[in-house]
Amino acid sequence: MLSFLVAATAVAGAVLPWLLPPREGADPWTSGILLLLAAVSGLRCVKARGKSAWFVPTDAFVLAGIVTLGGRAACAIALAGLLATTAGAAGKLAVRRTVFNAATVLVATSTAAAVFASLGGGILAFLAAATCLFLVNTGLVAAAVALDRSRGWVATWRATFLPTLPHFAVAAVLGALLAGFAALGAAYLLVLGPLPSLSGHVTQLLTNSP
């Protein structure tokens, strides 16, 4: 079952981004800056208190990309952050795990972008997209962990990924702010650009994490 999950996720990750319509008139400077910031932030991982899950503060840029650039560009931003995280991870990750992680973020981003577009944009659409991004991403990884360790999926998700929710919530707020600043011009992204990299550490302080 684990091999089937990995294969199915890999296929979905390779196909879904191309099913999203391209965004006309997207600013290439905004795209480039978000790609760069996601890659830099991908190197800064934060571990949830007492858990094995690592929070990667790239979701803010992915969500901003969904709003300002469209799903395809957001997938590229998500992939840039994931590859940077993989490069900065201690030790070498297995090829299958790397492929699965990449496919997972592409599936989650594509799904979130589709939700945002289908709801016509706006605050409620953003909240729905953010929720989708978090649940699909963590849900797929939790399923793989549960199958690998012969554990229950819900229990695995609750124990491993639920503690990262405060970190993601902070990243989602920053993603909304980034999208607002991007509407003023690509250069304004540099004002808030460093904040997602610090969001995990801020959340640790707010939740009394060590």
Domain boundaries, the chain: 2-204
Tell me the pTM: 0.86
182: Cβ contacts below 8 Å, ≥ 6 apart: 27, 30, 34, 64, 67, 68, 188, 189
Q: What is the pLDDT of residue 184?
A: 85
- Correct CATH for 2-204 of 1.10.238.10, 1.10.1760.20, 3.90.1150.10, 1.20.1250.20: 1.10.1760.20
Residue 130 to residue 173: CA distance in whole angstroms: 10
Q: What is the pLDDT of residue 90?
A: 52
pLDDT digits (tens, 9 = 90+) for 165-174: 887 888 898 8
Phi, psi at 16, each rounded to 5°: -55, -45
Q: What is the pLDDT of residue 73?
A: 95
Q: What is the pLDDT of residue 56?
A: 59
The list of the chain residues with pLDDT below 50 reads 47-54, 203-210
Q: What is the pLDDT of residue 82?
A: 87
Q: What is the pLDDT of residue 135?
A: 96
Instruction: Note whether 42 and 81 are within 8 A (CB).
Output: yes
Q: What kind and span of H or E run contains 98?
A: helix 95-118
Q: What is the pLDDT of residue 55?
A: 52
Which residue type, as a one-letter code, is found at position 33? Answer: I
